[in-house]
Each structure stands twice: as C-alpha cells, then as structure tokens.
C-alpha cells in the first residue's frame, strides 16, 4: 500500500496476508495523522471524508492485530527520512512492515519521476516501493491451482 492504508470496520481477513505500506508524514492528500483535513476533501466520492480521519499507522496496526502480530512494532531508522515499523510474531510468519516517510508527501518512494511530481510533495529514494513490492510478491505468491 502506498499513500493510504484503510482497515474497514468489520474487516475479517480469512488468512494472514504479507503487507508492506509506505506513507509520508507530510501527505496533504491522505493525512498521516488523520484529522479530516485533506486537499481532496471536496471529492464527491461517498465516504471519503471519513477516510481522512484515520491515523495511517493505526490502520496498519489493525491489520497486524488481525494477523496476531506482536502489538508493538520494532522501529528502525533507515536513512535520515525513513522509519521502518516492523511487526513480528505474526501468524504463519507473514511479514508486516510499515514505512514512515518523514516529511514525505503523496508520492511513490523510489520513483524516477519524483522530480516532476513536486506538487504531491517530497519523496524519498531511501526505499523503493517497486523493488520492495516485487521482492515481497516473488517470495509470497499463492500457488496457481
């Protein structure tokens, strides 16, 4: 998940699913800390205003709780602008990692196009969503039957 994590009320995943999420602390589209203020708040999409109230790391932690992970993540600073929130002890050993992009906007971390996406805020090259996501999918795919 990039620049948005949402755990709907009543969500009951049938099985643990490996997850990676990345979100900038200065995202003005989907606010990191909730609070309901977004540059998208005027959108006509039903229910979107409630989405802006959600505290993003808390939404990710709800998925970690669903998968029986230890409640307190291990925090690790990765470079000057990224903090990893690693949930451990999860059911079936699924990886659950949330990456806090300090000062980051509504962007794709590691994007080669970041310089032209300046209206969406600062991005980082400390982590790369494309590379990380592919590595996760390569090692945690479902068997095609």
H-type alpha helices, 1-145: 48-51, 56-66, 129-139
Strand partners, 75: 85
Question: Please, which pLDDT band fits residue 101 given cuts at 50, 70 and 90?
Answer: very high
pLDDT-based confidence at residue 42 (cuts at 50, 70, 90): low
Judging by beta carbons within 10 Å of its beta carbon (0-12, 13-18, 19+), is residue 55 exposed, middle or buried? Answer: middle
pLDDT at 99: 97
Closest CA to 128 of 104, 102, 110: 110
For the chain, the structural domain boundaries read 19-137
- Mean pLDDT on 24-30: 90
Of 15-29, 47-61, 123-137, the poorest mean pLDDT is in 47-61
DSSP state of 93: G
- For the entire predicted model, the pTM comes to 0.89
For residue 92, which of 35, 18, 12, 7 has the smallest C-alpha distance? 18
Strands 74-78 and 82-87, bridge-based pairing: antiparallel
């Amino acid at each position: 998940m990039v620049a948005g994590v949402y755990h709907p009320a009543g969500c009951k995943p049938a099985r643990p699913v490996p997850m990676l999420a990345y979100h900038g602390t200065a995202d003005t589209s989907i606010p990191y800390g909730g609070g309901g203020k977004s540059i998208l708040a005027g959108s006509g999409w039903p229910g979107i205003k409630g989405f802006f109230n959600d505290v993003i790391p808390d939404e990710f932690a709800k998925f970690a709780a669903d998968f029986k992970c230890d409640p307190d993540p291990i925090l690790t600073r990765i470079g000057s602008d990224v903090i990893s929130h690693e949930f451990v002890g999860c059911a079936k050993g699924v990886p659950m990692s949330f990456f806090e992009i300090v000062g980051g906007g509504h962007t794709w971390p590691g994007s080669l196009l970041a310089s032209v996406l300046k209206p969406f805020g600062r991005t980082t090259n400390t982590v790369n969503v494309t590379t990380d996501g592919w590595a996760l999918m390569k090692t945690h795919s479902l068997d095609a039957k």
